[in-house]
Every structure is written in structure tokens, then in C-alpha cells.
């Protein structure tokens, strides 16, 4: 009996080593993908709308990061690559306007983008919600093709989430420095971790929805038609 336990422990340790090695290789692969995928396509196909992912707003003004995303989306809009822009992002403080509202105001007041060409999502709190809410807007307006605009480091995660949600997207990154320094590496590590988190969240969310659906079906009992007479 003792011999069997010892053998089982050795087997578990051996399997654990392979699992850990696989996880490390997977993480390094994803990190390299996030860092090297620059999302600068040579040409973009026409889309129904540009999805601008949320970034911080400073009161009634967009932060430098958000402003770059707005300006990049406006450039694509003026090139007639898309007919509409969806600004996404809520507000961490109910006393301040949402990121999407600030972006819309900036695009309309400073660049003359007509309000009819702009849709906004003011309730999302993260990239996953940015995209799922943009998808809902697209479904209401019969928009099917999208271009996601954000910073280069952010777009790998965004395109993976879009794929999981069934969105048909292209991506276009804002201009940024190509310098790789400690700050940039920390950002890539954070983005890699966030991508893993988004994958886990999506998996758990859909498992929960599937479980609730099965549980609901099991609770539904067949209703007997009162007008149907029993056979004798």
C-alpha cells in the first residue's frame, strides 16, 4: 500500500512539472504576442463603425491618452473608412461625466463631427464591457463591421475579446513611441495579465449562463392542456 502511494506522489509531481512548464510557455507566448503585435494595418476595409475604447477623462476634458484615441478615430472617419463612431466608457464617479460623453463632446465641439454620426456607451467599466456594449449598440443599429481604436499594447486583448464575442473587427492603433523601456515592459506584463483575466472571465461568464439556462429548463414543468380530455 505504501509503495502505491509513493508511486502516485511521483506521478503527480511529474505531471505538475509538465503543467507548470506548459503554463510558463503559454504565458511567454502571449506576452510576446502582446508586445510584438503592433496593429498597424497597411489598409483598412470599410466598416460600419469605429469603436473607441475608453480611457480616463479629466473632468470635462479627455486625458492625453483618450484624446489620442479620439483624434485617431476622427482621422479614420474623415477618410471615410467608417460612417459612425462609438465612444465607450463610463465614469468611476457619478458626479463626473462619463468617458464616452466627454469624448463625444470633444469630437463634436472641437472637430465638428455631427452628433448623428456618434453613438455612446456610458455604462462600461472595462474593455470587455466596452466591447459587449458596443456590440449591443451595433445590433440595434444594424452595424456589423467594426474598427477598434486604442493604443497598440491594448489592441491584442481587445481583438481577442471581440473574437470571443463574435464581433467582426479590424484594429487600428494610435501613434506611439517604439521605445522599449522599464515602464513599457511593465505595461506589457499588465496587459498580458489582463488578457488572461479576460479569457477566464469570458469562460466563467458563459459557464454560469449555461448553468442558469439548464437550471431554468429543469424548473419548467409541462403544462397540461385543460381542454384535452383524458383517454379512457
Can you give the pLDDT at residue 203? Answer: 81
Can you read off the three cell numbers belonging to residue 104?
463625444
- Quick check: is 151 in a domain? yes
Is pLDDT of 214 > 50? no
- Quick check: is 6 in a domain? no
Confidence of residue 34 (pLDDT cuts 50, 70, 90): confident
Lowest mean pLDDT among 38-42, 74-78, 216-220: 216-220
Residue 112 CA to residue 40 CA, distance in Å, equals 26
Confidence of residue 36 (pLDDT cuts 50, 70, 90): confident
- Quick check: is 221 in a domain? no
Structural domain span for residue 94:
47-180
pLDDT-above-70 percentage for the chain = 81
- Quick check: is 89 in a domain? yes
Confidence of residue 231 (pLDDT cuts 50, 70, 90): very low
- Is residue 160 a contact partner of residue 198, using CB atoms and an 8 Å limit? yes
- Quick check: is 62 in a domain? yes
- Is residue 72 a contact partner of residue 39, using CB atoms and an 8 Å limit? no
- Quick check: is 162 in a domain? yes
For residue 29, what are the β-bridge partners?
A: none
Can you give the pLDDT at residue 57? Answer: 95
Phi/psi at 50 (5° precision): -100, 125
Is pLDDT of 102 > 90? yes
- Quick check: is 145 in a domain? yes
CATH code of the domain containing 172: 3.40.50.620
- Quick check: is 10 in a domain? no
pLDDT, tens digit, for every residue of 151-201? 988 898 999 999 999 999 999 999 865 555 677 778 778 888 888 888 888
**Number of domains observed in the structure of the chain:** 1
Amino acid at each position: 500500500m505504501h509503495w502505491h502511494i509513493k508511486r502516485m506522489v511521483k506521478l503527480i509531481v511529474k505531471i505538475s512539472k509538465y503543467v507548470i512548464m506548459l503554463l510558463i510557455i503559454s504565458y511567454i507566448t502571449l506576452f510576446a504576442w502582446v508586445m510584438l503585435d503592433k496593429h498597424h494595418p497597411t489598409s483598412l476595409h470599410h466598416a460600419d463603425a469605429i469603436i473607441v475604447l475608453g480611457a480616463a477623462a479629466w473632468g470635462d476634458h479627455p486625458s492625453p491618452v483618450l484624446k489620442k484615441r479620439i483624434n485617431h478615430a476622427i482621422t479614420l472617419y474623415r477618410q471615410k473608412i467608417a460612417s459612425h463612431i462609438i465612444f465607450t466608457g463610463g465614469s468611476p464617479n457619478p458626479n463626473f461625466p462619463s468617458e464616452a460623453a466627454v469624448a463625444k463632446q470633444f469630437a463634436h465641439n472641437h472637430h465638428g463631427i455631427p452628433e448623428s454620426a456618434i453613438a455612446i456607451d456610458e455604462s462600461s467599466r472595462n474593455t470587455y464591457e466596452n466591447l459587449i456594449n458596443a456590440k449591443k449598440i451595433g445590433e440595434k443599429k444594424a452595424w456589423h463591421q467594426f474598427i477598434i481604436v486604442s493604443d497598440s499594447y491594448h489592441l491584442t486583448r481587445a481583438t481577442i475579446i471581440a473574437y470571443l464575442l463574435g464581433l467582426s473587427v479590424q484594429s487600428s492603433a494610435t501613434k506611439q513611441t517604439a521605445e522599449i523601456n522599464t515602464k513599457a515592459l511593465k505595461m506589457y506584463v499588465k496587459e498580458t495579465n489582463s488578457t488572461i483575466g479576460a479569457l477566464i472571465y469570458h469562460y466563467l461568464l458563459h459557464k454560469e449562463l449555461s448553468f442558469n439556462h439548464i437550471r431554468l429548463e429543469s424548473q419548467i414543468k409541462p403544462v397540461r392542456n385543460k381542454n384535452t380530455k383524458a383517454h379512457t
